[in-house]
Amino acid sequence: MSRYETLPSAPQAHAARADFEAAVRRGLTGRPRVIPPWFWYDAEGSRLFDAVCDTPEYYLTRVEAGILERSAPRLAATIGEGPIDVVDLGCGDGRKTAPVIAALRDGGAAVRYVPIDISGAAVDTAAAAMIARFPGLAIQGLIGEYFDGISWLSKNADRPRLVMFLGSNIGNFPMPEASAFATRLCKSLSPGDRVLIGFDLRKPGAPLIAAYNDSEGVGPRFSLNLLRRINRELGADFDLERFEARSTYDPVEGAIRMYLISLEEQSVYVRALDRRFDFEAFDPIQVGYSYKFRPREITQLAREARVDVEAMYFDDARWFCDAVWRIAPG
Ligand SMILES: C[S@@+](CC[C@H](N)C(=O)[O-])C[C@H]1O[C@@H](n2cnc3c(N)ncnc32)[C@H](O)[C@@H]1O
């Protein structure tokens, strides 16, 4: 059990368990079968995602880390000194946030680190890494859904905020939902607060496909872990050997799509739903998507959210962009 604040949407909470059951019921009954990506992250899912970030093919982490390392001093100079909450939304292991905290502290800011994640394991890992790097750093971990975390913060803290939403997590929403998410996020903050969002950009298909189908099979193991989670938490009998994880790239939509594909005709029982689900050979379950952006689409999101674009930081190859938006007064 984590020692950080557990919000109603945390996985151990009753409501979250009901959500998971409902999503699996809907996902396995519907055609096409789709289970949304935020159920990937139990403790093992978080560990496997960290391992994905370490594969040579998963350029996203490496490239974004480089952008943040390079731009952190400029960002810190813009923000200046004074108290600030650095909110790491969907923190994962938090490894890319450290240079920003270091630069803010070097500039004289009194930083509190606020990791928010649906996975308690992620909050624990990110918080432990920050304490190890910055002994004595103030930390407020929040375990739960993004907006549960933001609204807890609105009620319990009044410091200026830099909300970081890294790793192209925003790509987990199709474009209209990404816009709704960004707008809602910005609306829930105060004038003068900033958001820093990491966007993976459109690029040739080969590196994209390799990033999600790495040669060691870490990404596929990460996707298959969803079935293990359904087995454990909902008493299902998925045989992981009889499913294959594959990701494809759709250049029309600019989207990676992740599938678990039944390798044969089979029937799976889910005890919590008291239901059997039949699969024909090569039937897919879609378990995730990752939309890739054009720079003009990022500007468009900012326009729709009615925020000021303060900076757009790119790597040299323009494979990734970290955009900084400021919440305008009124
Ligand atoms: C793709 S990882 C990114 C991790 C890290 N920010 C990075 O850039 O490497 C997504 C993280 O967001 C968390 N997450 C996904 N959906 C969430 C939700 N709805 N509410 C809170 N956290 C969520 C996951 O548990 C996971 O740690």
What is the average pLDDT across 171-190? 95
In the sheet where 243-250 sits, what is the strand order? 33-34, 284-291, 255-262, 243-250
Residue 110: what residue type?
A: A
Establish whether residue 290 lines the binding site of ligand 1, counting it when its CB lies within 6 angstroms of any ligand atom.
no
Q: Is 46 in the pocket of ligand 1 (CB under 6 A)?
A: yes
Mean pLDDT of 99-124: 96
Q: What pLDDT is recorded for position 94?
A: 94
Q: pLDDT per residue over 245-300, tens digit each?
A: 999 999 999 999 999 999 999 999 999 999 999 999 999 999 989 999 999 999 99
Cα of 58 from ligand 1 centre, angstroms: 16
Residue 9 has pLDDT above 90, yes or no: no
- Pocket probe for ligand 1: among 2, 7, 38, 212, the residue whose CB has the most ligand atoms within 8 Å is 38
Q: Taking residues 50-74, what's their average pLDDT?
A: 98
Does pLDDT of 10 surpass 90?
no
| Of 4, 323, 329, the residue nearest 164 (C-alpha) | 323
**Model pLDDT, residue 103:** 98
Structure confidence at residue 3 (pLDDT): 78
Q: Which residues pair with 270 in a beta bridge?
A: 236, 275
Find out whether the beta carbon of 273 lies less than 6 Å from any atom of ligand 1.
no
* Closest atom of ligand 1 to CA, residue 64: 8
Show Cβ contacts of residue 143 under 8 Å, excluding neighbours closer than 6 positions: 2, 4, 5, 6, 7, 10, 116, 117, 118, 119, 120, 123
Residue located nearest, by CA, to atom 10 of ligand 1? 90
Report how far ligand 1's centroid is from the alpha carbon of 185 (Å).
Answer: 15
Is residue 227 lining ligand 1, measured as CB closer than 6 Å?
no
- Closest ligand 1 atom to 38 CA: 16
Residue 169 CA to ligand 1 centre (angstroms): 7
Closest residue CA from atom 20 of ligand 1: 145
Q: Which of 82, 295, 39 is nearest to 193 (CA)?
A: 82
The pLDDT, as a whole number, for residue 37 is 85
Q: 97 in helix, strand or coil?
A: coil
58 lines ligand 1 (CB under 6 A): no
Residue type, 150: I
Question: 158: Cβ–Cβ under 8 A, 6 or more apart, which residues?
Answer: none
Quote the pLDDT of residue 14.
62
Instruction: Report yes or no: 93 and 129 within 8 Å, Cβ to Cβ.
Output: yes
Residue nearest to atom 15 of ligand 1 (CA): 38
Residue of minimum CA distance from atom 9 in ligand 1:
167
Q: How far, in Å, from the CA of 307 to the mean position of ligand 1?
A: 23
What mean pLDDT is reported for the chain? 95
Residue to mutate (ligand 1; options 118, 173, 184, 247; most atoms within 8 A of CB): 118
The answer to whether the beta carbons of residues 285 and 268 sit under 8 Å apart is no
In this structure, how many other beta carbons lie within 10 angstroms of the beta carbon of residue 319? 21
- Span from the CA of 190 to the centroid of ligand 1 (angstroms): 23
Q: State the Cα–Cα distance between residues 69 and 320, nearest whole angstrom.
A: 14
Across 12-46, b (16+ Cβ under 10 Å) vs e yields: ebeebeebbbebbbebbeeeebbbbbbbbbbebbb
CA atoms within 13 A on the CB side of 142: 28
How much of the chain, in percent, has pLDDT values that exceed 90? 88
**Cα(25) to centroid(ligand 1), Å:** 23
Cα separation of 293 and 199, whole Å?
A: 7
Assigned token pair, 102? 């270091």
| CA-nearest residue, atom 19 of ligand 1 | 145
d(CA 27, CA 38): 13
Q: Domains along the chain?
A: 1-330 (3.40.50.150)
What is the reported pLDDT for 306? 96
pLDDT at 1: 56
Give pLDDT, residue 15: 64
Residue 85 has pLDDT above 60, yes or no: yes
Within the chain, strands assigned E span: 5-6, 33-34, 82-89, 109-117, 138-139, 142-143, 161-165, 194-200, 243-250, 255-262, 266-270, 275-279, 284-291, 308-314, 320-326
> Per residue in 175-202, is it b (16+ CB within 10 Å) or e — as a string?
beebbebbbebbebbeeebbbbbbbbbb
